[in-house]
Structures are given as structure tokens and as C-alpha cells.
Amino acid sequence: MDHSFIDDQNAAERYLKGQLSSEESKRFEEHFIDCTQCIERLETIAQLRDGLKSAAVALPRVVAINERVKPGKPRWRTVTAVAAMLLLAAFAGWFRYQDWILSSQLQQSQLASRGWETRVNALESQLRDRASQVPTPPAAVYSLDAMRSSGSRGSPVQTLRIPSSPAILVILINQEPVPEITSYRAKLQNAAGEEVARFEDLRHQGGAALAVTMTSSQLPAGTYQLALEGLMGAARYTPVGRFDFRVAVQ
Amino acid sequence: MDSNATWPSTLVERIVKGDRSAEAELVERYSSGLRILIGRHSRDESLVDDIHQDLFRIAIQRIRLGELREPEKLNGFLCGMARHITIDHHRRAAKQPVADDEEAELLISTAPGPEDLALAQERMRVAAEVLAELEIDRQREILRRFYIGDEAKDSICEDMGLSSLHFNRVLHRARQRFRELYLKKIEKKHLGGVR
């Protein structure tokens, strides 16, 4: 038995799963018992299989594949994503409106007499400032799922890949609405335990996710934890979920 | 002359002549591979150790006595012996009744220790990282169906419209990346620097 057969037929994986015939098993065993490459591969496969099976039990959301959308029935995530895009469009529209106001004022000033020169300069300066603040579209939308691990923070498994250029980030926190909870607040901490951002009065907007917006400069590469609390009754906040994630800058 | 073809014969010849270093060479060369073979039939680490010890003790004895008449078939000789000894051990274990206190001791001795649990946790985390790094759901589905669901490659490829090459490539990358990350974590643990 040679390595091209072993590679092509996935002999190592099939051996460990007991899917080789007895003749093939025998031949493979006689090969691998003194083959460093095959021994390493068998050890890696056994460990990977072990790890994946454990992860499937402990972290099902990491392993599960997104279900297909039933025709004619919009998914709550799609609805929430659309809502987030509309929110984004509103932000962009607001910036553009500000630009239009300043541009119009500038035009009027230029048509007037020389006495408006100082005002023209000031308006030009404001336009330049505004242009540098407008994030480059498109903005990015991300989805966060709650961790199910107990105990202290373990290694995060969700990775948000954010653009290196300035952008608005919309983060959808997947949290099913709870009837007793009227609103939510969230605290975002970095790996050092420092508070990076705080969001108050978060509410579901027709879907099963809460949306928060941030700028890409607020999330440098690293690991983060978002702690979500729900407001029950008058003024009592109760912990609802913990969302661990890692940020990678593209 | 192809040294690989003559190698087992040379080693066997040295063992027959009483060369102790040749015996040590035999153990070193075949130990890891035979442990995997034995381990396929038993998850009990102490039983694997026992079978492993018996195997080399008996194999070296027989080789010294000249019972391996075709030295170039050393691999087949060792594999056959490993299978017989493993079956024999399981037969003996099945026949012997175990007293209550012995059973309790057996349960305690075969239960995973703290080091094993820590390694299992590390494997789980690394496997989850490998999955999270995959950008395409289809790749995740391939790993899930093949390694967790234990589905056959042909059925997965047919169902997902994949070529054998593409399938193998996904597995190869996942294995490589897992090994890379896992070894880094284990190394960090042993050096005492856990992030």
C-alpha cells in the first residue's frame, strides 16, 4: 500500500472509523506501523475527530450549519438584517443631508460679495471635517451567538472579520425576545477587562436580534466579551447572556 | 542495493545474534505504530500498555529463537502478533469474574485523569477554532458529516456535488491546521504560558 492510495482513498480516516475491508486494514496496518508520516496523520485525525465530537456536544452552534430558508417564510435573521441595513441607510442619509446643507450654504456664500470670504473659508473647513468622518460604505453586519460554556471565559470561538478601512459595524446579538423583559443593556469588555462600549435601552425591532452599532476603530483586533442584561419590572437588571468573540482586522 | 528492502532482514539478523541495541531499535521504531493498532481495539490505556509490553516481549523472544523465517515480513509478523495478543487479552478479561472492590478499582483506574480531561478540553477548543476559521459553510458541513456523522466520503461527495480532490483538500487543510494549533497549545501548556 503506497501513499497515493492512502491519500486518494482516505485510508487513514476510514481505518479509524472501521470502514476499511479486513484485507485493506491488514495492508494498511503493515504499512503504517513503521511509517512516521502515517502515524502522525492517524494521531491528528483521532484528535481532530475527538475534538469535533466534543465541540458538537458542548458548542452546537459552532458546529451546526445554517438551516435552509423555507420558501415564502422570511427568517427572523433576514428581517433583522434588513432592519439593520435600513438603520444604516438612515445614518448614511443623515450624513449626506448634512453635506448637502453645507454645500448649499457654500454655494450661496460664493455668489455673494467679498465680505463673505471668511464665512466661505469656515464652511469649507467644516465640509472637509465632515468628509473625513463619513465612513466608507458598505458597512458590515455581524451576528453574535451566546456562549454555552460555564465558568470563567474560555477561548472565544466566533470571529468577526472587520475591514481595515473606517466603517460602521452593525452587530446583531441573537437573543430571542423574553416577554418579561422590556429592554436590554449591554457592556462590551476587552481581554484586559476594560469597558470598550456600553449600550442602553436595546429593544427588539420585529426580529429576534438586538442591534448595536459601532465604528471599526472601536474594535481593534483582540478578544472581547459582551455581557447582556435584561430589564425586568421597574429597575431590576438580570444577566441574560454572554457573547465571547474575537476580532480580526482584514 | 535498496537499504529499505534489506533493513528488516538486517535488524532481525542482529536480534538473532543477541544484539541488545537491535532489540531497542525494534521497540523504538515500531512502538508508536503498534500502540495505535492495539488502541483501536481498546480505550483502556493500562490495557494498551500491558498488551504493548507483552507484544514486544514475545516478539523479541520469538525472533531470537529464529521463528521469523522470512525477516522481510517483519511488519506482517508484528501486526499479526498484535492482533492475536489483543484478542487473547480481551478473551481472558471476559472470562474472569471481577469482584466488587476490583470493579471499583478498575473504574477508578480507567477513568480519565485531570491531565486527560485538560487535553480533551484543549482538543475541543482547537477543533472549534478550526471550524470557526472556515469561511464557507460547505467546508464545515464536510467535516461535520465525515468526522462527527461518520458518513462515507462517496455519499457526501455525491450529495454535495464535490469532487474527490476537493473533498480531500478540505480534510487535509483541516488536519494540518488542527495539528498546528494543537501542538502550539500543548507546547504553551508545558512551558507554563497559557494565554
Q: How confident is the model at residue B144 (pLDDT cuts 50, 70, 90)?
A: confident
Pull the grid cell for residue A151: 465558568
Q: Are residues A155 and A187 in the same domain?
A: yes
Q: Say yes or no to pLDDT of A39 above 90.
A: yes
Q: Are residues B14 and B91 in the same domain?
A: yes
Number of H helices, E strands in chain A: 7, 8
With CB atoms and an 8 Å threshold, state whether A42 touches B179. no
* Beta strands A168-174; A158-162: pairing state: unpaired
Structure confidence by residue, pLDDT tens digits, B92-106: 766 665 555 555 455
Give CA separation, A75 vs A59, A67, A82, A233, in Å.
22, 10, 11, 30
Q: Are residues A124 and A145 in the same domain?
A: no
A204 backbone dihedrals φ, ψ, rounded to 5°? -75, 135
* CATH code of A225's domain: 2.60.40.2550
> What is residue B105's three-state secondary structure?
helix
Which pLDDT score, from 0 to 100, does residue A58 have?
Answer: 65
Tell which of B32, B66, B95 closes a domain: B95
Cα end-to-end distance, chain A, whole Å: 44
Q: Say yes or no to pLDDT of B71 above 80.
A: yes
Q: Are residues A48 and A146 in the same domain?
A: no
Q: Say yes or no to pLDDT of A5 above 50.
A: yes
Q: Are residues A150 and A220 in the same domain?
A: yes
Task: Evaluate whether residue A64 is within a structural domain.
Answer: no
Task: Evaluate whether residue A116 is within a structural domain.
Answer: yes
Q: Are residues B12 and B84 in the same domain?
A: yes
Q: Are residues A151 and A245 in the same domain?
A: yes
Measured between CA atoms, how close is A20 to chain B, in angstroms?
11
Q: Which domain holds residue A14?
A: 3-58
Chain B residues touching A10 at Cβ < 8 A: 153, 168, 171
> What is residue A10's three-state secondary structure?
coil
Q: Give pairs for B37-40: CB < 8 Å, separation 24+.
A: B37/A29, B37/A33, B37/B79, B37/B82, B37/B83, B38/B82, B38/B86, B40/A15, B40/A16
Q: Are residues A151 and A189 in the same domain?
A: yes
**Which of B26, B131, B169, B172 has the most A C-beta neighbours within 10 Å, making it the best mutation to test the interface with A?**
B131
Which pLDDT score, from 0 to 100, does residue B191 have?
Answer: 66
Pick the most confident of A59-63, A115-119, A150-154, B52-56.
B52-56
Q: Are residues A147 and A203 in the same domain?
A: yes
Residue B1 near chain A (CB below 8 Å): no
Higher-pLDDT residue of A100 and B155 is B155
Which of A70-84, A153-167, B5-19 comes out lowest in average pLDDT? A70-84
* Beta strands A209-215; A195-202: pairing state: unpaired
Structure confidence by residue, pLDDT tens digits, A203-229: 886 566 888 888 888 889 999 999 999
* CATH code of B126's domain: 1.10.10.10
* Chains A–B, number of C-beta pairs less than 8 Å apart: 120
Task: Evaluate whether residue B33 is within a structural domain.
Answer: yes
With CB atoms and an 8 Å threshold, state whether A59 touches B175. no
Q: Say yes or no to pLDDT of A199 above 50.
A: yes
**Residues in contact with A194: Cβ distance below 8 Å, sequence separation at least 6, in sequence order:** none
Q: Are residues B90 and B133 in the same domain?
A: no
Nearest by CB: B29 against A34, A52, A59: A34
Task: Evaluate whether residue A84 is within a structural domain.
Answer: yes
Q: Are residues A146 and A238 in the same domain?
A: yes
Task: Evaluate whether residue A18 is within a structural domain.
Answer: yes
What's the rounded mean pLDDT across residues B159-186? 87
| ipTM over 0.95 threshold | no
Contact A193, A218 (CB under 8 A): no
Residue A160, H or E segment: strand A158-162
Q: How many domains is chain A built from? A: 3
Q: Are residues A231 and A153 in the same domain?
A: yes
Task: Evaluate whether residue A186 is within a structural domain.
Answer: yes
Contact A58, B117 (CB under 8 A): no
Residue A118 near chain B (CB below 8 Å): no
Q: Which domain holds residue B175?
A: 114-191
Contact A80, A209 (CB under 8 A): yes
What pTM value is reported for the model? 0.53
Chain B nearest-CA residue for A53: B148
Task: Evaluate whether residue A71 is within a structural domain.
Answer: no
Q: How many residues does chain B have?
A: 195
Task: Evaluate whether residue B109 is within a structural domain.
Answer: no
> What is residue B73's three-state secondary structure?
helix
* CATH code of B51's domain: 1.10.1740.10
Q: Are residues B87 and B126 in the same domain?
A: no
A202 backbone dihedrals φ, ψ, rounded to 5°? -85, 135
Task: Evaluate whether residue B84 is within a structural domain.
Answer: yes
Q: How many domains is chain B built from? A: 2
Q: Are residues B75 and B11 in the same domain?
A: yes
Q: Are residues A148 and A225 in the same domain?
A: yes
